[in-house]
Structure 1
Amino acid sequence: MSESKLQVTLREHFLFSALPEGEREVLHQRCRVVELKNDETLFHQGDLAASFYVVLKGSINLFRVSPDGQTKVIEVIKTGGAFAEALMFMDQVRYPLNAIAMGVCEIMVIPNKLYKDILLAAPESALKVMGSMAVKLHRRITEIETLTLQNTRHRLGNYMFGLAPDASELQCTLQLPMAKQLIASQLGMQPETFSRLMKEMKTQGLIDVKGADVVVHDLQGLREFGH
């Protein structure tokens, strides 16, 4: 009998792989999987944070809505990604973001108390998990630095370069992972700015756009866009 997605995730994901096999089996028995339709909400900003999540299939859009109604995409979590896990180690008892499905999704739901109790019973495993979470935090700091220190041209050029299948290639075709307005929000720019910069890239001969596909004629030039 083949393993379920839940079993594979518990065996391979960094949040669970360091745990003793018996503890992973406890999680397998007590965690649940929820299925979401496109645009279905998993939780709202301000809801009680009793669980954290791992994406088994699809993508989840994490975003905030400002008091004036502006939507800011914080992160898009793809298959294999975890989110809201840091809240269990903080005094934060409510989700600071909204989570909504981008397409059909399967989400693993892990109760915070259950996971914390398992970590307390396995200190060595807890240290390994903390190390992995520190690496994730470092990536977030780098992303914040990118958003605050780089101009919009540089941000978009680096983002597009990061989507390339092989960074050493001169040319490639890449696919935008989400709607252009969501990419603009994640990069901290207005949709109009995003569209203008994409046109500049096309005018400079760096890219051609065909729907969600972007044909890159000069990958290194794309990376240097805005420097």
Structure 2
Amino acid sequence: MNPEPFDIQRLLSALPLFSDLSQLERERIARGCRLVRLARGEMFFRVGEACEAFHVVVSGQIKLYVSSPAGQEKVIEIIGPGRSFAEALVFLGQPHIVNAQSLTDTLLVSVAKAAVLAEVERDPRFSLHMLAGISRRLHSLIHDVEGYALQSGMQRLIGYLLRDVEAAVGHGSGNVSVSVHLPASKATIASRLSLTPEYFSRVLHELETQGLIQIDKREIRILDVHRLANFESH
């Protein structure tokens, strides 16, 4: 059974990309939207398939990745609630250049290419929202390339653990502890950081031995944020 347009409008109003739009604007966008429900592990699209929409995660997680002919997998990005993907390809008219698979049961809003282009022509503000999303992804990719080229595996892992922490705790001194929940399996996070699962686990346990973190499955307790941040330079 198809979802009612009201349901999609309500979902759009809760998503950052659409929250600033008027009700009339959301109504127009909703006409070009559909809800997509994916079970854990379900493929959403594959490399080479036509890109006819961009997508926003309402709940769950999407893994964007590429695979080698030998079956080796490199995770490019993990997309969580409120974040969008495939916007650039909508404008370029190119097929998908990565695979997309759900890591958990996932709900998406897919916005058809025609609806996107029509709203971009109609409302410059919507164009700015789209550009902001694309720019964030470009900035993230540049940061990744910089990390691969200039940082050790240890530094990349510590940087990942601290990615959302420093802004929350500030830059003061003193012992500041905080918990970080890994959004996916350790193997998936390792691939995201271009590390082997074995090296990823070894570094985590080394940090635990140093008294910097405590590990409880996917829950990582950072015992001293500032000590961990300074450990990068050792």
TM-score band by shorter chain is: 0.7 to 0.9
What pairs with 1:213-224 in structure 2 (closer than 5 Å)? 213-224=219-230
Mark the CA change 1:50 to 1:128 in structure 2 (over 3 Å): closer, same or farther: closer
User: Identity of counterpart residues, as a percentage?
Assistant: 33
What pairs with 1:63-82 in structure 2 (closer than 5 Å)? 63-82=65-84
- Rounded to whole Å, the distance in 2 between the matches of 1:44 and 1:183 is 20
TM superposition shift of 1:191: 0.9
SS at match of 1:103: coil
- Which residues of structure 1 form unaligned runs of 5+? none
Mark the CA change 1:175 to 1:125 in structure 2 (over 3 Å): closer, same or farther: closer
Mark the CA change 1:124 to 1:35 in structure 2 (over 3 Å): closer, same or farther: closer
Deviates more, 1:94-103 or 1:5-14: 5-14
Mark the CA change 1:154 to 1:4 in structure 2 (over 3 Å): closer, same or farther: farther
TM superposition shift of 1:225: 2.9
Mark the CA change 1:156 to 1:127 in structure 2 (over 3 Å): closer, same or farther: closer
TM-score by length of 1: 0.88
CA deviation map 1:151-183 (0-9, x unaligned): 111101111122549434611222211100111
In structure 1, the partner of 2:157 is 156
Amino acid at match of 1:223: A
CA deviation map 1:186-212 (0-9, x unaligned): 001111111111121011111121111
Mark the CA change 1:37 to 1:148 in structure 2 (over 3 Å): closer, same or farther: same
In structure 1, the partner of 2:42 is 40
TM superposition shift of 1:113: 1.9
TM superposition shift of 1:44: 1.2
SS at match of 2:105: strand
- Rounded to whole Å, the distance in 2 between the matches of 1:215 and 1:115 is 42
In structure 2, the partner of 1:122 is 123
In structure 1, the partner of 2:60 is 58
Matched, 1:212 2:228: no
- Which residues of structure 2 form unaligned runs of 5+? none
In structure 2, the partner of 1:191 is 197
- Rounded to whole Å, the distance in 2 between the matches of 1:140 and 1:49 is 21
